[in-house]
Chain A
Amino acid sequence: MLSFVARRVLGLVPVILVVSIVVFLLLRLSPGDPAIVIAGDNADAATIERIRSSLGLDQPLVTQFFIWAGSLLQGDLGISIFSNIPVADLILQRLEPTASLAVTTLVFAILIAVPLGTIAGATAGSWLDRGLMLVSVLGFSVPVFVLGYCLIYVFSLQLRILPVQGFASISDGIGPFLSSIALPTVTLGLAYLVLIARITRASVLEMMGEDFIRTARAKGVKERLVVTRHALRNAAIPILTVIGIGVALLISGVVVIETVFNIPGVGRLVVDAILKRDYPVIQGVILMFSGV
């Protein structure tokens, strides 16, 4: 086990090295200049040049890279060009909301999708099955931002039972936390939920036609146990696979959700940094995700 972990950690080194070089070059070679963004519209060329110099952006690319890589080797991701806050601190500030949203979405989606998919699979062709599948098609088709605004309208503006926006840390209490994360979780989780539900249904349906299910029924096992103990258990592998693949879907949706519900997460951090060309922040976040 230890050698396995050691191999995985060592395997990270070339990945991070390649990612760091590629990201650094891509950013520096793409158009845009943070010194100009900082200086603003009324700045003359001399002012821009002095700001660029104070940021070290007037150095040759190779020098800039080695300065950054040197700091990185000491565990220092650098300092945001705009806020002057260490990048590691910025990421840490933003990690809790994003991680919380990811976890609650996963839990929400799995807890609802697996039972629904199982029922649909076990009662294939019934009205219940057709109804669930119709809802799943709708859920998969509605863009997350549209669903988000609809939920805000109903639960925040009409019923006034949940906040429109913002994030309350779990340290502020479980009530405020759940209240702030509920709508984003449902919004982000719906597409994920229907994906898992459909796969669960298909897998369970396939298992229901197997010989061992007929044998179980012949032995007099109750139908509920046939479905849960025999069909669902054997259908688990494709379900677990799609849950894993769906995590990528979840991460891409986080940026939109963080914007719609004004959640200060990592997604918004990196998008803002890209728009302003805050190089250290972009590099830091991408490196972190490549490491993960």
Chain B
Amino acid sequence: MFNHTKASLRALLASAVLLSGMGVALAETTLKVVPSADLQVLDPMGSTADIVKMHGFMIYDTLYALDEHFVPKPQMVADMKLSEDKKTYRFTLREGLKWHDGQPVKAEDCVASLKRWQARDAAGQLMARQLKEMRVVDDGTFELEFNQPYGIVLESLSKVASNIPFMMPKRIAETDPFKEISEYIGSGPYKFAKDKWVPGSKVVYEKFADYVPRPEPASGLAGGKVAQFDTVEWDIIKDQQTALSALMSGEIDFWQNPSLDLLPVIEAAGNLKTKVINETGTQGTLFFNHTQPPFDHAKARQAMFYLTNQQAYLQAVNGNPDYYRTCASFFICGSPMETEAGLEALKAPDPAKAKALFEEAGWDFSKPIVILDPTDESIVHPETVVTVQALRDIGLNVDVQAMDWATVLKRRNSKEPADKGGWNLLHSYVGGQVVSNPVWSITFSGACEKGIFGWPCDQALEDLRLKFALADGQDARKAVAAEYSTRAFETGHHVPLGQWRTFVAFSDKVSDVLVTQDVPVFWNVKKSD
């Protein structure tokens, strides 16, 4: 009898252990996300697309990261010492950092990663030109030595505008910067599950158990990154209505880019929440072809500033005053470098003045101005329509050429005359972080053929970009940003068309979504049962 009871107890205990094990398996948690686009490129240096940046933040870590208030904070770095002459930065890595293959993160990995980044990124290239040497001191320490004090080292290492200096193992970072890497090993809070990746349909990330979060609370992209889910799954749903239905039915938890039109439906659903995670948002832009008349003349370019009614653009693109704002600044409003210097024209549109400036530029109003119109692009097309009407209102002849976005991307590199396959005007939009200062991207370049399409050519602007990078401290940088802004209006570099915010939508079971001032990240996010 006793033996029988003992055997039963043993069986009961074994069952309990088994069931508890099953319980653990059943309790595996997954966050299902619908991102804004399909992930096709896996190399964070291979593309500047937001989705690639999101992928980067999932699996890689950065030396520094911006907090919610745009302040660089150490991330992989434990300690930084700046030499007295302000030319040498010594970085010591946090202890216990590991790559996803289990190897320790070393200083040589970081130096190799920085070299790869410097080959691809505008800010990285600027930094590389000022660098005297990057050297490994020991496994946990490396130094950057500059020819002269360089003011934006930490800002560059924490920049959120792509390309971002993500760290990867040396053997991977030594891949030709212009060829895609073939291993996707980072040291971030999640690992990329390549065997579960279905391009165009699904991307899966698994929790990296050895990740050691920083002790500070998360803020923006900085602070402790705590992976709360065993798996984060990105389901690529391109149709807005389908994504909305999937969110309402509970099939997905988080949706990155609902259309503003759907806001009332989401708010009325009862089981969904929305949040603005990027307060600065996105800026609309009008670009000139500086090499072709009439916009080879500064007066004609300035005319477009007087012709720009930001309210009209924002109403066409966004339509909800709660989510857009006019902003007479080249640098996104709400960021530290916001300045209206030289941009009075944007605050008070004056079509008569614009017409007079076109006449001063000697433009024959009967000649067509060629505008590229990507009719498949939901932001650029409405921007184009507003510009076309404004130009026609002052008597200009406009040739609107409809095409798809991929064709615009190709065509905008043409330097041919506008009537022979070239162009005069085109529109676009850029993330707020990209236009948060004059050096993060070539949007602000004046480097002629080596710069951005449209080829603005002005050495003074290039000098000011370098001056900004060398400036010591935020106040000095703000002063240079104002100088840049004044000069950019004088040369009619490009026209900012105002800015708008978007929102993310998620189940009311989801909480702790971070305000990153850029793309969403999925550490720290929680989901209740």
What is A's interface to B at a CB cutoff of 8 Å?
31-33, 36-48, 50-51, 53-54, 80, 82-85, 90, 93-94, 149, 152-153, 156-157, 160, 163-166, 259-262, 264, 268-269, 272, 275-277
Contact = CB atoms under 8 A, between A and B. Distances in A.
A277 B406 contact: yes
Contact of B406 (A37, A149, A156, A165): A37
Given A164-B242, A165-B246, A261-B242, A269 B407 contact: no
B201 A264 contact: yes
Contact of A31 (B249, B403, B445): B403
B40 interface: yes
A272 B200 contact: yes
Chain B: interface size category: 35 or more
A82 B37 CA distance: 14
A157 B449 CA distance: 55
Contacts of A85: 199
Interface in B381-422: 403-404, 406-407, 409-411, 413
Contact of A44 (B180, B202, B442): B442
Nearest to A33: B410
If over half of A's interface residues share one DSSP class (helix, strand or loop), that class is named, otherwise mixed; here it is: helix
6 contacts: A42-B452, A82-B40, A163-B249, A164-B251, A166-B235, A262-B237
Given A31-B406, A45-B413, A259 B239 contact: yes
B251 A33 contact: no
B407 A157 contact: no
B176 interface: yes
Given A38-B47, A262-B235, A163 B251 contact: yes
B2 interface: no
Contacts of A276: 40, 406
A40 B403 contact: no
Contacts of B251: 163-166
B245 A156 contact: yes
Contact of B48 (A41, A54, A164, A166): A41
Contacts of A50: 178
Contacts of B434: 42
B449 A45 contact: yes
Given A42-B434, A83-B199, 7 more contacts: A40-B162, A41-B430, A42-B48, A82-B41, A90-B199, A268-B238, A275-B406
Contacts of A157: 245, 248-249
Nearest to A34: B406
A259 B238 contact: yes
B46 interface: yes
A287 B296 CA distance: 47
Nearest to A162: B249
A32 B376 CA distance: 14
A32 B249 contact: no
A38 B428 CA distance: 17
Nearest to A84: B180
A241 B184 CA distance: 52
A262 B35 CA distance: 13
A37 B237 CA distance: 21
Q: In the complex, which of the residues A36, A41, A47, A261 has the most CB atoms of chain B within 10 Å of its own CB atom?
A: A41
B332 to A, nearest CB: 15
A74 B176 CA distance: 28
A80 B40 CA distance: 9
A53 B178 CA distance: 9
A262 B178 CA distance: 33
